[in-house]
């Protein structure tokens, strides 16, 4: 008998949520968002490839207690001509004193201010051209507050592509596990992260490192240093990753604000890169990133993101990504505006220059309604 690991955890979480609902007399409210996205790309400069998808997210606001906090978010849509329905988040969280235990499909973010986070539990992107990517995991997360912002966090999950072959147990070799110790103090924020996961038969990826963030006058300085090991049965690849970044902002009027952020990331020995990691991690690292630039075999990357916020309802900006080895560059201009009544739209370009000097244009438009 073969059981998908995410199905097992969803069934367990649904049972726990049912117990909460049975004991509650409160009505369940509902909200969410509806999104329509249209994009085009011209790989050879002449032929144009178009793509569109629509998606609806429904969040059910379940009754909560002082110790139990459930969450259920369902998504359904149409992508590449195929309809789908999936559970985005379905978890229940129990809080006792300084401890929080979360079971089910949940987001896990170990952010520290970087746009591209090389030491997150799962590959993530934060506010690149106005978009973010945070994967949901199917597992258990333990969080313990040590006071004064310090914390210890441990996560164990089965990646959504993993399969469980025994209904009586879960093979431990398929688990992904990670731990994070965060130690903030006046003037800086420091964390130590480690993650290990199985990728295939006798194949595993291990990541360990530290992240930091501090303030230098009006700018924030952040970065990371990590060690990656990709082990196979008869070979292994090892690399050291270094990241350095900054962010700063200033006002130009009563409500106008300019934000600038830049970062540099490099795989020191060039045995691994973002393209290889994307192939190793598979669909999980790409899920939800339809409008973001595709990372190829990038071993060192410069990234600059400039954003001008005219007011609290609109902003315009551009992100530039440059890879020095193959001289590949991607420019992503974007504009976002809230129209009122829960309606928001965004425009985004995607202009890429490949190693041969060819220009590959693309653009996208999305309309979102919040209800």
pLDDT classification of 243: cutoffs 50, 70, 90: very high
CA–CA gap between residue 364 and residue 33 (Å, rounded): 19
pLDDT classification of 335: cutoffs 50, 70, 90: very high
Count the neighbouring beta carbons within 10 Å of the beta carbon of residue 231.
16
Q: Mean of the pLDDT values across residues 121-129?
A: 80
Position 47 scores a pLDDT of 76
CA–CA gap between residue 352 and residue 346 (Å, rounded): 20
Q: Mean of the pLDDT values across residues 252-279?
A: 83
Q: Could you tell me the residue range of the domain that residue 112 belongs to?
A: 3-370
CA–CA gap between residue 28 and residue 18 (Å, rounded): 13
pLDDT classification of 165: cutoffs 50, 70, 90: very low
Does the pLDDT value for residue 4 go beyond 70? no
Q: Mean of the pLDDT values across residues 112-131?
A: 84
Q: Give the long-range contacts of residues 291-295, CB within 8 A, separation 24 or more.
A: 291/37, 291/39, 291/129, 291/131, 291/348, 291/350, 291/364, 291/366, 292/125, 292/128, 292/129, 292/131, 292/133, 293/128, 293/321, 293/330, 293/332, 293/350, 293/352
Does the pLDDT value for residue 236 go beyond 50? yes
In angstroms, how far is the first alpha carbon of the chain from the final one?
42
Does the pLDDT value for residue 292 go beyond 70? no
Does the pLDDT value for residue 171 go beyond 60? yes
Please give the full DSSP string across 102-141, using - where no structure is assigned: EEEEEE----SS-SEETTSSS-EEEEETTEEE--EEEEEE
Position 260 scores a pLDDT of 95
Q: What is the CATH number of the domain that holds 193?
A: 2.40.160.10
3-state secondary structure of 355: coil
**Lowest mean per-residue pLDDT among 71-75, 122-126, 171-175, 266-270:** 171-175
Indicate the average pLDDT of the chain. 83
Number of folded domains that form the chain? 1
CA–CA gap between residue 345 and residue 99 (Å, rounded): 40
Does the pLDDT value for residue 253 go beyond 80? no
Cβ atoms of 76 and 84 within 8 Å: the answer is yes
The DSSP output letter for 296 is -
pLDDT tens digits, 197-227: 887 777 888 999 999 999 988 899 999 999 9
Structure tokens at 74: 């369902």
Does the pLDDT value for residue 279 go beyond 70? no
């Amino acid at each position: 008998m073969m059981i998908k690991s995410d199905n097992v955890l969803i069934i367990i979480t649904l049972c726990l949520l049912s117990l909460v609902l049975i004991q509650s007399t409160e009505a369940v409210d509902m909200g969410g968002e509806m999104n329509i996205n249209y994009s085009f790309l011209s790989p050879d400069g002449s032929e144009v490839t178009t793509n569109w998808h629509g998606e609806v997210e429904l969040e059910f606001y379940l009754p909560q207690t002082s110790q139990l906090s459930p969450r259920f978010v369902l998504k359904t849509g149409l992508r590449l001509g195929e309809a789908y329905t999936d559970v985005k988040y379905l978890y229940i969280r129990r809080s006792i004193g300084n401890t929080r235990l979360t079971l089910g499909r949940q987001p896990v973010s170990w952010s520290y201010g970087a746009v591209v986070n090389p030491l997150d539990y799962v590959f993530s992107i934060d506010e690149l051209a106005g978009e973010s990517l945070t994967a949901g995991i199917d597992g258990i997360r333990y969080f313990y507050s040590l006071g004064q912002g310090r914390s210890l966090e441990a996560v164990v999950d089965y990646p959504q592509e993993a399969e469980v072959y025994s209904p009586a147990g879960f093979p431990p070799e398929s688990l992904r596990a990670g731990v994070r110790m965060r130690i903030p103090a006046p003037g800086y924020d420091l964390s130590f992260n480690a993650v290990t996961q199985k990728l295939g038969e006798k194949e595993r990826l291990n990541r360990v490192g530290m992240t930091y963030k501090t303030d230098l006058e009006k700018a924030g300085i952040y970065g990371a240093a990590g060690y990656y090991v990709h082990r196979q049965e008869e070979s292994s690849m090892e690399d050291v990753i270094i990241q350095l970044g900054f962010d700063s902002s200033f006002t130009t009027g009563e409500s106008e604000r300019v934000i600038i952020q830049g970062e540099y990331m490099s795989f020191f020995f060039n045995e691994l890169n973002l393209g290889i990691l994307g192939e190793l991690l598979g669909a999980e690292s790409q899920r939800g990133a339809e409008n973001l630039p595709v990372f190829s075999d990038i071993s060192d990357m410069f990234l600059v993101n400039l954003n001008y916020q005219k007011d609290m309802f609109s902003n315009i900006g551009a992100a530039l990504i440059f890879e020095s080895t193959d001289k590949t560059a991607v420019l992503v201009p974007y504009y976002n505006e809230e129209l009122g009544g829960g309606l928001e739209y965004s425009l985004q370009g995607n202009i890429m220059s490949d190693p041969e000097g060819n220009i590959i244009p693309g653009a996208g438009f999305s309309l979102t309604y919040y209800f």
